[in-house]
Amino acid sequence: MRYLVTLLFAALSLNAVGQVNPNYNPDYYADGFININDLFGFLAAYGNTWDSEEVISGCTYSYAVEYNPLANDDDGSCIFLPDCAGVINGCSLIDECGTCDSDPSNDCVQDCNGDWGGIAALDECGVCDGNNSTCLDECGVPNGDNSTCLDECGVPNGDNSTCVTSCGNDIGHEGYDYSTVQIGNQCWFSENCRYLPAVSDSYTGSDTDPHYYVHGYEGSNVSDAVLHPNYSTYGVLYNHASAMVGDVCPSGWVVPSKDDFDELSDFLGGITVAGEHLKSQSGWTSNGNGTNSSGFTGLPGGYRTEYGGVFALEFKGLWWSATISVTDPDRAHLRDLDYFWNNFQPQVYRFGNAYSVRCLMNTSSISGCTSSTACNFDPTANTDDGSCIEVGDSCDDNDLNTTGDIIQPDCSCLGTLVVQFNCGDDVNHENYDYSTVLIGAQCWFSENCRYLPSVSPSSASSTTDPYFYVYDYQGTDVTLAKTTANYDTYGVLYNWPAFMTADICPSGWHIPSDGEWQTMEVSLGMSIADASSIGWRGSPVGDYMKSASGWDTLWDINGNGSNSSGFSALPGGTSWGGDFHVVGGAGNWWSSSEFELLVSWQRELSYASDTVIRSYIGKEIGCAARCVRD
C-alpha cells in the first residue's frame, strides 16, 4: 500500500508539472489547508477523466468570506464584510485611540506616560510632563550653565559687588555704583552710603532697632525719600543699629573700626590737620571747605539726635565706626568734621543718634576659593586657598559601579556606569583579569595577586621598606620575572610593607584583615572559638580552601584539597632568610593586621594537613596576597 501512495504522489506531481493548467489547486476540499484529506479526495477521483477546461462556479475573490480557490467562474456568491468605516472591502482600521480611518500617518501614539493619544511630553530636563524646574540653572534656564545672568564679577544674579576691585574703580552695590579712593594702605568709599531699606521721620528712633533717615525728609515712604535732594547729595543717616545690619556695605567691604579711622587720620598728618585733606572743596558753610587732597570728599551731611530732629546740614559731617566704647557700652566711636576747623575729631556718642557711614575695603585675609567659575566660589574670600572645584575636575561619586567620575556642569559628581559586577565575574586590574569567588557574604580573589612594580632577589629584605619577589627568580628585571612559570602560577610574594601598598588591589577591593580571614573561615564551617585561636585549627576547612591539584604528594599523603570553597589556594611557598622555601608544600597569605611592631598576622596551608594555621610572623618574610571586595 505504501508503494501505491508513493506512486500516486508521483503521478499527481507529474500531472501538475507536465500540464500547463492554471486551474490546478492541491487544496481538494478548498478549506484553506493542504493535508491528508485532500490526498484521499484526489485518490477517490484517481482514474476519472478530468476536463481541464471544466467550469467551476463560485466566489473567486480571495478577500471575500465565501472565497472558493477552485472556482474559475464567479457566480456572484461572494460576501464582503465592511471595514470600521462601513465601507465594503474598505481598508480603514481602528487605532489604539478608537479612531477609525485609513490614514496610517495619523495613527494614535503613546505619550511619555504610556497613555495612547495622551499629550504628556518630556520637558527639557527629560522629565515626563515636567515644567523644566528640575534642571534650571541659577538663571532659570533649563540645562543652562549660569552664563545668561552673570554680573560683571561672573556671579549668577549678582550685583557686581564681589569683583576683586582695584581701588579707584567704582563698586556696585544695591543698584548704585560707589566711587572709591586709595588713601595710604586703605581703600575707602569716596561718598556716603545710600542703603535705604526703610525710612523714618527724624522724631522716630531707637537705641536698639534699625532706623534710617534722610536729612530734611519727615515721612516714611522710601520712594519719596530717595527723590529728596539731600539723599542724592549726602546719602543716608543711620542710627548705630542700622549701620551694623550688614547690608550697608557690599561684600568684601566693612564699616570701619576706630583703629581704621586712626590709621586714616595718622596718614593725613594727625587729628588736627587731617580734616583739611578730608573735607570736600565745596558745600561747607562760611568758607569751611577743605582741599580734599585725600579724595575722601567729606561732605557736611549733618546728623540726627537721639531726642529727635536733624541738624547741622552744611556745618558738620559725622561718620560711625563699628567699635563700641569699652567704658560706655551704649555708645560707639565715630569721627567728626566741622566747617570751623580742620580737626578730624574722635567722638563717642549714643546709639540712638544717626550719622553718615563710609565703607572700607576689607583687606584682612579671608581664605577660600576666589574663582568665580568654581562650584565652591566664595565671594567673600580674598586669598585663594587652592580649594576651588571646577567643572571637569576629578571627584568620587561613591558609586562602585561608575568610573571616571568628574564634576558636572551643575557641580554634581558623576561617573560613567560600568557593567554591574557580580561576584564570580572577573575583575581587571593592571591589565590582568582576576577570577573571583563568593564565600559566605564575602567576595574574594580566587588567585594570588600579581602586582609587581619592582622585583628583588630573595637576599634583599626589610621590615619597613617594600620588597616584591617571584619564587626562584633572583634578579631585578620585572619584565623577565613576569615571564617565569612561577609568576604565572603563584603570582607575587610580598614582604608586609609591600603587601600594604595601596595598588595591590583594584578600586573597590582591599587587602584582608585578620578579622576578615576569620569571617571566611567561619563561613566554611570553622567554629568562632577555633577561628580566633592560634596555630593549626579548623579541620577540614584547609581541605575546602586548597586547590584540587598542584600540592605535593609524599609517601601516602595526598596534599591536594577538594577546593569546595572555590578559594583555589596554591602552594606558592615563601621568601625568608635569603632564599625561597617550600613551593609545592605550603602557601602563606598576609593579613593587614599587625600583631606588634615587627610581626603581623598571616594564614598558612600545608600539603600535610586539612587545617589552617593562624600565626604571626616577621614582616620581612615574603608571602602571597589576596584581595577581598569592599
pLDDT digits (tens, 9 = 90+) for 430-448: 999 999 999 999 999 999 9
Of the two residues 145 and 320, the one the predictor is more confident about is 320
Q: Which residues of 130-160 are buried (b: 16+ CB within 10 A; e: fewer)?
A: beeeebbbeeebbebebeeebbebbbbebbb
Furthest CA-CA distance within the chain: 147
> How far apart are the two ends of the chain, measured CA to CA in Å?
76
How many other CB atoms sit within 10 Å of the CB of residue 484? 15
Sign of the Cα torsion 167, 173, 179, 182 reads negative
Phi first, then psi, for residue 406 (nearest 5°) are -140, 160
Of the two residues 2 and 598, the one the predictor is more confident about is 598
Interacting residues of 35 by C-beta distance below 8 A, sequence separation 6+: none
Q: Give mean pLDDT, residues 276-285.
A: 97
> Using one digit for the tens of pLDDT, what is the confidence trace for 218-246?
999 999 999 999 999 999 999 999 999 88
Confidence bin at 153 (pLDDT 50/70/90): low
pLDDT of residue 37: 66
pLDDT of residue 152: 55
| Beta strand segments in 43-109, E | 57-58, 73-74, 93-94, 100-101
Residue 51 has pLDDT above 70, yes or no: no
Burial class for 210, CB neighbours closer than 10 Å (0-12, 13-18, 19+): middle
Confidence bin at 13 (pLDDT 50/70/90): very low
CA–CA dist 233, 413 (Å, integer): 51
pLDDT of residue 137: 79
pLDDT of residue 113: 81
- Out of 134-138, 401-405, 461-465, which region has the weakest mean confidence (pLDDT)? 134-138
Q: Give mean pLDDT, residues 409-416.
A: 92
CA–CA dist 552, 609 (Å, integer): 12
pLDDT of residue 164: 46
Residue 10 has pLDDT above 60, yes or no: no
Interacting residues of 271 by C-beta distance below 8 A, sequence separation 6+: 265, 343, 344, 345, 346
pLDDT of residue 462: 95
Q: Which triple of cell numbers denotes residue 372?
A: 568665580
Confidence bin at 321 (pLDDT 50/70/90): very high
Q: Classify strands 73-74 and 57-58 as parallel, antiparallel or unpaired.
A: parallel
Confidence bin at 42 (pLDDT 50/70/90): low
Query: In 3-state terms, what secondary structure has residue 2?
Result: helix
3-state secondary structure 455-524: CCCCCCCCCCCCCEECCCCCCCCHHHHCCCHHHHHHCCEECHHHHCCHHHCCCCEECCCHHHHHHHHHHC
Q: Give mean pLDDT, residues 339-358.
A: 97
| Cα distances (Å, whole numbers) of residue 461 to 497, 583, 619, 622 | 10, 19, 9, 9
Q: Domain residue spans in the chain?
A: 2-74, 171-361, 427-629
Burial class for 520, CB neighbours closer than 10 Å (0-12, 13-18, 19+): buried
Q: How far is CA 575 from the centre of its chain?
A: 45
Round the average pLDDT of the chain to a whole number and report it. 87
pLDDT of residue 91: 66
CA–CA dist 358, 240 (Å, integer): 13
- Out of 113-117, 197-201, 489-493, 558-562, which region has the weakest mean confidence (pLDDT)? 113-117
Of the two residues 488 and 132, the one the predictor is more confident about is 488
Q: Give mean pLDDT, residues 329-353.
A: 97
Q: Give mean pLDDT, residues 523-549.
A: 96
Residue 72 has pLDDT above 70, yes or no: yes
> Using one digit for the tens of pLDDT, what is the confidence trace for 591-604?
999 999 999 999 99
